[in-house]
Structure 1
Amino acid sequence: MVKIGKIELPAFPLLLAPMEDVSDPPFRAVCKDNGTDLMYTEFISSEGLIRDAIKSRQKLDIFEEERPVGIQIFGGDEEAMAMSAQIVSTVNPDLVDINFGCPVKKVVSKGAGAGVLKDIDLMVRLTEAVVRGTNLPVTVKTRLGWDHDSLNILEVAERLQDVGIQALSIHGRTRAQMYKGHADWTLIGKVKENPRIKIPIFGNGDIDSPEKAVEYKNRYGVDGLMIGRAAIGYPWIFREIKHFEKTGEYLAPPTIQERIDVIKKHLTQSMKWKGDTLGILEMRRHYANYLKGFPSVKEFRNILVNLKTYPEIEEVLDKMIVRYDGFIPDRIMASYPEGNEPSCSI
């Protein structure tokens, strides 16, 4: 069992990474169904919460069936971070998480996210402010360092533990790498090996298959894994990893019926949360990833993204069940044009 404060997780938990415009309640619902042990909201600006920005406030929506669930905040001002921690606590999540890893320019330029990796003393002060601002467990997500000349994660882990965080998730890239190249887990393993570190350490970066998940668990000794982009359009990755870890065998991939059932649930949850019109509109960006690998699927996608009512969409989805009955596509990770990756899928 892995514990974060009073939160009890399985012996090797799988976490869903917070991703801007992806890990909203509808997406979290289908990931929870498929075995996610701990989830987080999309990251929320501390300044946005304080000035009552509508989008920031909506990201505070959490539901009982999601638990345990954490709310992630980011910012570069101590007072604002403390105040936002207080605001977050009022909606009663299970924990508060701090984002010190988002590499996108609009966040870093404000001295937040991975921008704080340039100033470890500030990172410590911001963390202390959040710990003081809430009675909930506080956790942190970050990267190895700003660049390869400042790989300071070993110092960061110790100092953040000393000021009260109760778990640390580490993405195996620097800010300078953004999402390019391969994640380097060597330093993640060294953090876990450090006898001073008593809190759970979760590894993140490039986990896209059951065999890699188990290999990295055994090689680096982490307490659990955080998965981001590999879950987009493929929430089944969580159940597949758990099955492989337990049995050493691959779980049968989802059938077309299972895929369409998940699309329908994601869509209905989106409509329930955002209203029919906006829920249908926002679901359009998910179809391509759910349907990757199916032959000649573009014709269906082109129809789906133009439909405006649930019955129309359901009719097309049901036709796909007939068209692709028995076909199992290769596992393909969600892909994005360079520079347009989901923000902070760390």
Structure 2
Amino acid sequence: MSLQIGPYQFKHNLVLAPMAGITDAVYRQLCRDKGADYTLAEMVASKKQLWDSKKSSTRHASLTDPEPRAVQLIGTDATELAEAAAWQVSQGAQIIDLNMGCPAKKVCNVAAGSALMAMPDKVEEIFQTVVAAVNVPVTVKIRTGSDDSTKNALQIALLAEQCGLQAVTIHGRTRAAKFSGEAEYQTIKEVKQALSIPVIANGDICTPEQADFVLEYTLADGIMLGRATQGYPWIFREINHYLNSGNHLEKPSLEEFAATVKQHISGLHRLYGEDLGLKIARKHLGWYAQHLPDGKQLRRQFNQLQQADLQLDIVYDFFAELGYSKIGIAQQKQK
């Protein structure tokens, strides 16, 4: 099964979720290399005064990114979002995604993100205004509703289709649930049955088997992976292989694992500069370390380092001392 959004046809139907502070250009490229055909950048605030901020500058569309270049916007004012969308397109964005799924308190307190699910009139205004402002596909990510008593994903998704959006992604939890409990897929299935535009399923998809189940149960056009990719971008490759063959793919070799970690860390140093890059590298190394023997010790030592070059040195030394038998044991435990 393939996925198509507007004019963009993807070979596979696996999407990297936009995650604040994580899915920068370096991470998106890594996930593309490992089998994600479509990746979204971190969400960007729609407020004009923030477009040129240091943080936002790393989140805009980059002409060096593989196509299609997708940017996610978050905000509450329709005109503001439309202006931001038009500006992002002028900078090279080829798909605009609207964030109506983030459950973070600081986002919902200003009626943005998933808080908008409770305001369908405002949502409709945003959809109409943004679609009219750009000549590229507009998509949206939503949740199932505000809480268990007010699940209105179908209402919002139908508005999206009626207003000209070209895909809807649904996280299988309500705003109130945040990331607790288990995602449910019945709501996603109901939305898919009602819409003619692509529907992408999201939430708790961490294994090839779960990916297969979600696609078969919901009949969604694609699935979006988020937290499962942290420290293990190979999940895309493994799911693609399983969906195509029904068989499991071998885990990454020691050499590939080492090369990926080093590529990621050095890329962060280049993107953010050494001072900020080494701080951001710590969280990513922590996620990689969960898949390695003696990973806790590596993480502790890594987090104490104050120089970017020393971070790379310790990674080189760690993998140089690690044998195939140990990496094999770690992979068996992961299963």
- Superposition TM-score tier, normalisation by shorter sequence: over 0.9
Q: Is the 8 A contact 1:208 1:230 kept in 2?
A: yes
In the other structure, the counterpart of 1:97 is 97
Higher relative contact order (CA 8 A, sep 6+): 1
In the other structure, the counterpart of 1:113 is 113
How far is the alpha carbon of 1:322 from its aligned partner? 3.5
Q: 1:296 aligns with which of 294, 300, 325?
A: 294
In the other structure, the counterpart of 1:339 is none
In the other structure, the counterpart of 2:305 is 307
In the aligned structure 1, how far is the partner of 2:116 from the partner of 2:4?
27
1:42 aligns with 2:42: yes
In the other structure, the counterpart of 2:244 is 246
In the aligned structure 1, how far is the partner of 2:30 from the partner of 2:332?
18
SS of 1:176 mapped into structure 2: coil
In the other structure, the counterpart of 1:69 is 69
In the other structure, the counterpart of 2:79 is 79
In the aligned structure 2, how far is the partner of 1:119 from the partner of 1:331?
47
> 2:281 is matched by which residue type in structure 1?
M
Q: 2:319 aligns with which of 309, 318, 321?
A: 321
- Superposed CA RMSD: 1.9
In the aligned structure 2, how far is the partner of 1:52 from the partner of 1:313?
30
Q: Deviations over 1:229-286 (max 9, x none)?
A: 0001110000000011111111111233222111111112112211233222321111
Q: Give the gaps of 5 or more residues in structure 2.
A: none
SS of 1:3 mapped into structure 2: strand
Percent of aligned pairs sharing the same letter: 32
Q: 1:62 to 1:296 in 2, by over 3 A?
A: same
> TM-score by structure 1 length?
0.90
Q: Deviations over 1:25-67 (max 9, x none)?
A: 1111211110111111110111155664332233104243432
Q: 2:217 aligns with which of 216, 219, 239?
A: 219
In the aligned structure 1, how far is the partner of 2:333 from the partner of 2:129?
41
How far is the alpha carbon of 1:134 from its aligned partner? 1.1
Q: 1:61 to 1:306 in 2, by over 3 A?
A: farther
How far is the alpha carbon of 1:298 from its aligned partner? 2.5
Q: Is the 8 A contact 2:266 2:312 kept in 1?
A: no
1:180 aligns with 2:183: no
Would you tell me which structure has more helix in proportion to its own residues? 2
> 1:6 is matched by which residue type in structure 2?
P
Q: 1:234 aligns with which of 217, 221, 232?
A: 232
How far is the alpha carbon of 1:220 from its aligned partner? 1.3
Q: Is the 8 A contact 2:173 2:184 kept in 1?
A: yes
> 2:168 is matched by which residue type in structure 1?
L
In the aligned structure 1, how far is the partner of 2:49 from the partner of 2:90?
12
Give the alignment of 1:82-161 within 5 angstroms: 82-161=82-161
Q: Is the 8 A contact 1:46 1:81 kept in 2?
A: yes
How far is the alpha carbon of 1:311 from its aligned partner? 4.5
> 2:101 is matched by which residue type in structure 1?
G
Number of residue-to-residue matches in the alignment:
330
Of the structure 1 ranges 72-81 and 44-53, higher mean CA displacement relative to structure 2 is found in 44-53
In the aligned structure 2, how far is the partner of 1:4 from the partner of 1:246?
21
> 2:108 is matched by which residue type in structure 1?
V
Q: 1:50 to 1:206 in 2, by over 3 A?
A: same
In the aligned structure 1, how far is the partner of 2:32 from the partner of 2:8?
16
Q: Deviations over 1:115-160 (max 9, x none)?
A: 1011111111111111112111100000000011111111111111
> TM-score by structure 2 length?
0.93
In the aligned structure 2, how far is the partner of 1:106 from the partner of 1:311?
35
In the aligned structure 2, how far is the partner of 1:2 from the partner of 1:123?
25
Q: Give the gaps of 5 or more residues in structure 1.
A: 334-346
